[in-house]
């Protein structure tokens, strides 16, 4: 049994807020692609954020019930159990998911000196499933040092997460969806997150081509100036780094589509994205950012805000399609549409992907009225769609050189992940993972290399046609 916490230790309750969707994973069970995809994450039904501790509240606990007190009291505890425990560590945040046979009341609080999060689950006892959590701790986890499990009292299971650093935890619940039962999710974010642009610049330090770009135009050589010689001085060559954001779809709790052999979309597209990054990293004055570099979930809006946070020149979201009929095949490339989808299939696909609300969006501070803001947004988006089509055509042409195309032209639909009004953005469906033959190809590293080369060539072709102009000094 865990010892009770000392009353002098400062604590802050993790308070449940109103139902919130922005951090949720896309639920796709009602669509053709979802029928082939197996599990996906569901929409968020409740969220929590940390409130600062108040004087005199040391040791206090804030109840965060999944049900109303009346319903919770009436609910039978006979069937309460932990069905599964999953942990998704990453550099950005660590997620812990408890899959439950039914919704249960819980309490959570944050304590410092030393830093830890305490999670109390009511109506549960220590069992093998929760003990599995002890073996899931990775030494590379930047947030969790260890986990302790014990029976705090006959009615309460207590789980303590001992932390490596100060965190800003979030606790929320997910309703049953797409094969998952009730879920209680604990996300551990850094208390002081690093600015994405600063992180990108820090990661780029030491790269020759980046240092060249940062040095700016060459200085004029000593001797006679152009003005002194009577000749017109040539315009200085402007060179800045071109930033590409690659977005491997899904991740973590959201596997995406699943093929007949059990291949997860999230795994395949992450491999392809890493290969594209490796190819592009060889280019002068070009840097690549991944929205996720491992197996963890990133909300759709967060993907958009990441791209805008690093001042991306391009955004390429990489996926593998699925359909209820296994004979569907071929690659596709999509861009945003504000006026309806270009086909029924495009509409279905966009609906599949748009289960999480958009977090990002442009903040037009100079707009004096909603009408003005809307007009400026339309102008931004029109330009973005135009440039996105240029990129999409280049990528689609390259994909057509290595395999079959599902549609020979660029398609359009209202994808949330493409709604960055100032960044040309495309969504690439590499193949149909629901097609047995294409699933086999997607699993093969050689075909992943071919896909990566095609996507990279399309990106480089676009850059040749649209060289980056001058921008702020941080670019």
The CATH number of whichever domain residue 173 belongs to comes to 2.60.40.3500
Same domain, 455 and 335: yes
Same domain, 257 and 395: yes
How confident is residue 337, by pLDDT bands cut at 50, 70 and 90? confident
pLDDT at 203: 64
Same domain, 185 and 252: no
The answer, yes or no, to whether residue 462 has pLDDT greater than 50, is yes
Query: The domain containing residue 107 runs over which residues?
Result: 82-190
pLDDT at 44: 36
Q: How many CB atoms lie within 10 A of CB 160?
A: 19
Same domain, 267 and 163: no
Same domain, 149 and 297: no
**Lowest mean pLDDT: which of 25-34, 111-120, 137-146?**
25-34
Same domain, 350 and 458: yes
pLDDT at 225: 42
Per the model's pLDDT, the better-predicted residue between 241 and 456 turns out to be: 456
Classify residue 445: in a domain, yes or no.
yes
The answer, yes or no, to whether residue 99 has pLDDT greater than 90, is yes
Same domain, 167 and 261: no
Share of the chain above pLDDT 70, in %: 64
Same domain, 400 and 290: yes
pLDDT tens-digit map of 14-45:
544 333 333 333 333 334 444 444 444 333 33
Residues 314 and 247: their CA atoms lie apart, in Å, by: 11
Give me the CATH number covering residue 254: 3.40.630.40
Taking the CA of residue 322 as centre, how many other CA atoms within 13 Å lie in the half-sphere pointing to its CB?
28
Total number of domains in the chain:
2
pLDDT at 215: 36
pLDDT tens-digit map of 271-282:
999 999 999 999
Same domain, 352 and 445: yes
The answer, yes or no, to whether residue 296 has pLDDT greater than 90, is yes
Same domain, 179 and 247: no
Same domain, 133 and 255: no
Residues 112 and 109: their CA atoms lie apart, in Å, by: 10
pLDDT at 45: 36
Same domain, 286 and 428: yes
pLDDT at 293: 95
Classify residue 155: in a domain, yes or no.
yes
- Select from 165, 190, 215 the last residue of a domain: 190
Classify residue 144: in a domain, yes or no.
yes
The answer, yes or no, to whether residue 161 has pLDDT greater than 90, is yes
The answer, yes or no, to whether residue 346 has pLDDT greater than 80, is no
DSSP class of residue 193 equals: P
pLDDT at 380: 55
Classify residue 254: in a domain, yes or no.
yes
Dihedral sign computed on CA atoms, order 64, 67, 73, 77: negative
Highest mean pLDDT among 222-226, 249-253, 347-351: 249-253
Highest mean pLDDT among 53-57, 141-145, 228-232: 141-145
Residues 156 and 221: their CA atoms lie apart, in Å, by: 76
Classify residue 43: in a domain, yes or no.
no
Q: What is the mean pLDDT of the chain?
A: 74
Classify residue 458: in a domain, yes or no.
yes
The answer, yes or no, to whether residue 136 has pLDDT greater than 50, is yes
pLDDT tens-digit map of 350-403:
445 444 322 222 223 333 334 334 444 555 567 888 999 999 999 999 999 999
Beta pairing partners, 156: 122, 153
Per the model's pLDDT, the better-predicted residue between 5 and 175 turns out to be: 175
3-state helix/strand/coil string of 261-292: CCCEHHHHHHHHHHHHHHHHCCCCCEEEEECC
pLDDT at 229: 47
Classify residue 235: in a domain, yes or no.
no
Mean pLDDT computed over 53-71: 35
pLDDT at 62: 34
Residues 402 and 430: their CA atoms lie apart, in Å, by: 11
For 418, the token pair is 């493409």
The answer, yes or no, to whether residue 214 has pLDDT greater than 70, is no
For tokens 């997150």, the residue is 193
Share of the chain above pLDDT 90, in %: 48
pLDDT tens-digit map of 253-264:
889 999 999 999
The alpha helices in 401-444, defined as continuous H runs, are 436-443
Classify residue 9: in a domain, yes or no.
no
Residues 273 and 271: their CA atoms lie apart, in Å, by: 5
How confident is residue 457, by pLDDT bands cut at 50, 70 and 90? very high
The answer, yes or no, to whether residue 8 has pLDDT greater than 50, is no
Taking the CA of residue 108 as centre, how many other CA atoms within 13 Å lie in the half-sphere pointing to its CB?
27
DSSP class of residue 30 equals: T
pLDDT tens-digit map of 168-185:
999 988 888 878 899 999
């Amino acid at each position: 049994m865990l010892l009770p916490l000392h009353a002098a230790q400062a604590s802050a309750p993790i308070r449940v807020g109103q139902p919130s969707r922005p951090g949720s994973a896309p639920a796709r069970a009602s669509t053709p692609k979802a029928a082939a995809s197996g599990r996906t994450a569901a929409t968020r039904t409740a969220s929590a954020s940390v409130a600062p501790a108040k004087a005199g509240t040391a040791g206090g606990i804030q109840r965060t019930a999944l049900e109303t007190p009346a319903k919770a009291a009436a609910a039978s505890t006979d069937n309460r159990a932990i069905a599964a425990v999953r942990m998704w560590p990453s550099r950005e945040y660590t997620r812990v998911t408890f899959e439950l046979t039914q919704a249960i009341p819980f309490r959570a609080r944050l304590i410092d000196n030393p830093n830890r999060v305490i999670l109390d689950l009511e109506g549960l006892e220590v069992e093998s499933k929760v003990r599995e959590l002890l073996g899931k701790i990775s030494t590379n986890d930047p947030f969790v040092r260890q986990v302790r499990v014990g029976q705090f009292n006959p009615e309460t299971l207590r789980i303590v997460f001992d932390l490596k650093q100060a965190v800003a935890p979030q606790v929320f619940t997910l309703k049953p969806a797409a094969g998952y039962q009730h879920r209680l999710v604990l996300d551990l974010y850094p208390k002081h997150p690093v600015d994405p642009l600063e992180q990108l610049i820090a990661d780029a330090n030491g790269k020759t081509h980046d240092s060249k770009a940062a040095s700016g135009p060459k200085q004029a050589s000593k001797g006679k100036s152009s003005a002194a010689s009577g000749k017109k001085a040539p315009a200085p060559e402007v060179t800045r780094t071109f930033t590409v954001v690659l977005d491997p779809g899904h991740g973590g709790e959201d596997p995406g589509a699943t093929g007949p052999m059990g291949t997860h979309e999230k795994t395949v597209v992450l491999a392809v994205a890493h290969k594209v990054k490796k190819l592009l990293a060889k280019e002068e004055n070009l840097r690549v950012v991944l929205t996720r570099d491992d197996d963890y979930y990133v909300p759709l809006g967060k993907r958009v805000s990441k791209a805008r946070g690093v001042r991306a020149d391009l955004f390429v979201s990489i996926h593998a399609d699925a359909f209820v009929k296994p004979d569907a095949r071929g690659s596709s490339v999509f861009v945003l549409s504000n006026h309806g989808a270009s086909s029924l299939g495009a509409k279905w696909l966009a609906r599949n992907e748009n289960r999480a609300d958009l977090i990002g969006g442009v903040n037009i501070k100079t707009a004096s009225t909603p009408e003005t803001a809307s007009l400026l947004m339309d102008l931004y988006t029109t330009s973005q769609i135009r440039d996105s089509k240029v990129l999409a055509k280049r990528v689609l042409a390259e994909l057509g050189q290595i395999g079959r195309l599902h549609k020979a032209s660029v398609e359009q639909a209202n994808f949330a992940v493409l709604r960055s009004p100032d960044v040309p953005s495309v969504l690439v469906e590499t193949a149909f993972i629901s097609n047995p033959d294409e699933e086999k190809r997607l699993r093969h590293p050689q075909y992943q290399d071919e896909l990566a080369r095609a996507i990279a060539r399309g990106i480089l072709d676009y850059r040749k046609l649209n060289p980056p102009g001058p921008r702020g000094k941080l670019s």
